[in-house]
Amino acid sequence: MHVAGIVAAGGRGTRLGTPVPKQLLDLGGRSILQRAVDALEATAGVQELVVVLPPEWIDHPAAAVSAAKPLVRVPGGARRQESVARGFRSVSAQAEIVVVHDAARPFVTPALIERTVAAAAESGAAVAALPARDTVKEAQSAPGVEGARAAVPGGPGGGLRWVRRTLPRETIFLAQTPQAFRRDVLRDALALGEKGVEATDEAMLAELAGHPVRLVEGDPGNFKITTEADLAYARWLVGSPAGGWTMRVGVGYDVHRLVAGRALVLGGVTIPFERGPAGHSDGDAVCHAVIDAVLGAAAAGDIGSHFPDSDERWRGAASVELVRSVGCKVRDRGFRVANVDVVVMLERPKIGPYVAAMRAALAAALELSEECISVKGKTQEGLGPIGTGDAVAAQAVALLVGSR
Ligand code: MG
């Protein structure tokens, strides 16, 4: 059995707002398109490949694709069905089965392609699909308005905010690609498209042409990259250093001598006591440890490089404001603080009554929920300078989540 694969990569993918169509974007060292091509390449039964590209991108380096199997690149049309029809015209004469796959689904597996092809060889047409897991509601624009769906502008779901009815979930499947067809079935289906029938996939054209279409068990991992979040998730899945969601951990430590005549400020909270930390700023060891943890996670230097004690601007500075400033600096680098955990090492006084206020002050400075900030006190059992009440120290750990 001779099988041809058509990769539908003709879309402009303008929704992501990138200069390059989404299927040509890098995903861990290969383009999204190349990953889709590689899956077909790795599918033993597929003998030849046709890649349909936006005409204006066909010679662009970003659209380069490679495969060991015979591969032709074809300029697409204005709509998906035109693009697939153009691809179909480039399929070799001996192809008996044609499998169509969206370039924007880079995680398709050879196993899924094979079972879709096998079902089409048996039944004429087959589509990979997932059973609906959630309860399915059909929507309408206003209660009791019949036929409202067609009248509502704004694309899928636009303006439809009322339930019309609940559909029996057991009968609902969500179509993916691959979709595979016997050659004559796809010819019929695409001919219908060329007559002006609009469809969102080739299986729909085959249905409208009167051909039975088999459902093949799809793969939740075979998702379509449509939104920026999909792209970030895809990049995270492949561990792409160029993007995705990255997690970064940082650690910070600070110690200050405790002297008479200074206010004891910790975590932005002034605690009544007869001694306070010596220092250029307010000597808030908790804030200083947090700053170093956050900067450390972003590999963005340390407190001394951002707020040097040789700079008069920071004399007597409220360190909790420096925490705020550091939160902004890491946000500018594409990170957000996920959580912070602090250990305060202090013999006296007990910090317990002030922990809630410290958490609130740090949370406000970092624009986080208080639930994401932990502050714990620890005495030193009388040992060392902290144990004798001559110093206060703090350790902090911060987790940053990067969106790039
Ligand atoms: Mg310090």
Task: Assess whether pLDDT exceeds 70 at residue 404.
Answer: no
List C-alpha distances in Å: 120 to 88, 217, 219: 16, 13, 17
Ligand 1 centroid from CA 259, angstroms: 14
Give residue 111's pLDDT band: very low, low, confident or very high (50, 70, 90): very high
Give pTM, 2 decimals. Answer: 0.65
How high is the pLDDT of residue 245?
63
Task: Assess whether pLDDT exceeds 70 at residue 149.
Answer: no
Q: What's the CA gap between 288 and 269, in Å, rounded?
A: 13
pLDDT tens track for 356-391: 999 999 999 999 999 999 999 999 999 999 999 999
Ligand 1 centroid from CA 220, angstroms: 50
Task: Assess whether pLDDT exceeds 60 at residue 242.
Answer: no
Q: Please report the beta strands in 155-290, taking only residues with DSSP state E, as ranges in sequence order.
A: 162-167, 173-182, 214-217, 246-260, 264-266, 269-271, 275-277
How high is the pLDDT of residue 148?
47
Task: Assess whether pLDDT exceeds 50 at residue 35.
Answer: yes
Ligand 1 centroid from CA 255, angstroms: 6
Ligand 1 centroid from CA 280, angstroms: 8
Tell me the two tokens of residue 107. 């995680």
Residue 60's SS3 state is coil
Better-predicted residue by pLDDT, 136 or 247: 136
Phi, psi of 217 (to 5 degrees): -60, 115
The two beta strands, 162-167 and 71-75, are unpaired
Ligand 1 centroid from CA 359, angstroms: 19
CB neighbour class for 270 (10 Å; exposed up to 12, middle 13-18, buried from 19): middle
Ligand 1 centroid from CA 278, angstroms: 9
Ligand 1 centroid from CA 254, angstroms: 5
Give residue 187's pLDDT band: very low, low, confident or very high (50, 70, 90): very high
Torsion (CA) 330, 331, 332, 334 in degrees, nearest 10 = 90
Residue 31's SS3 state is strand
Section 236-248 average pLDDT: 69
pLDDT tens track for 58-94: 999 999 999 999 999 999 999 899 999 999 999 999 9
